[in-house]
Structure 1
Amino acid sequence: MHDVLVGHLSVDVRASLRLFAFYLANGTLDLDLLDDIDYRPAVFEFGSSLEQVFAIYTNVLQVDVDGTVLNDGDAQYRVAQWIRARCDPNYEVEPPFQDWETELHL
């Protein structure tokens, strides 16, 4: 995949990021997977967990050439899986994360 230089994130990408941040902070990210788990202390207590959450979301998020988000639900679900595994040691992420999904970019 080639990086394309753009001036600004599209309105669709900005809206997806805003809603993702809202659901994450509100404790309502993927209620099916995270029902009855208050993940916020585990995510917000240390910056590195929050950093990882946003890395996974933005690494998985796909955008077409017009800036339209194609898979917001998939990106949120992968984050929810990572959070669930962090909060529930018995939970197994399926499929396992690939390196590119969890990579922190500098």
Structure 2
Amino acid sequence: MMTGVAHLPADVRASLRLFAFYLANGTLDLDLLDGFDYRSTVFHSGSSLEQVFAIYTNVLEVDPDGNVLNEGDAQYRAAQWIRRCCDPTYRIEPPFQAWETELHGP
């Protein structure tokens, strides 16, 4: 007998949708990325886009009820990685920890 399939909580799905919208629209963290048209850099290769989503989802925190707790922090950390790709002189503070940039899956 098959049991029900678990889905991401609605708040997490909404957070991912908005992140993808801001990213594709060129409006992710305007304070940090203002003046950088990062889309050509991020969308040029699948691995860049993959890393952006990995950072966002690794940093994203969700409470037991499925509510997103730190959407702004997750967006900011992803934006820092993007800024570094566009501006090699940009210094990421604090530096990324290994868990933040880890790629999961097959």
Corresponding residue number in structure 1 for 2:27: 28
Aligned residue number for residue 89 of structure 1: 88
Aligned equivalents of 1:37, 1:56: Cα separation in 2: 19
Amino acid at match of 1:74: D
Aligned to 1:48: 47
Which residue identity is paired with 1:99? Answer: A
- Contiguous gaps of at least 5 residues in structure 1: 1-5
Quote the residue 2:77 is aligned against.
Answer: 78
- Paired position in structure 1 for 2:58: 59
- Give the TM-score normalised by the residue count of structure 2: 0.94
Deviation per CA, 1:50-86, whole angstroms, max 9, x where unpaired? 0000000000000000000000000000000000001
Q: How many residues are treated as equivalent by the alignment?
A: 101
Q: Give, as a single letter, the amino acid of the residue that structure 2 aligns with 1:39.
A: Y
Amino acid at match of 1:80: A
Greater Cα radius of gyration, structure 1 or 2: 2
Matched, 1:19 2:18: yes
Separation (CA, whole Å) in 2 of partners of 1:103 and 1:42? 20
TM-score w.r.t. structure 1 length? 0.94
Q: Give the % identical residues.
A: 79
For 1:78, the aligned partner's letter is R
Indicate the SS of the match to 1:85: helix
Structure 2 unaligned segments of length 5 or more: list them: none
Kindly provide the amino acid, as one letter, of the partner of residue 69 in structure 1.
Answer: V
Task: Give runs of ≥4 in structure 1 deviating > 4 Å.
Answer: none
Backbone CA RMSD of aligned residues: 0.8
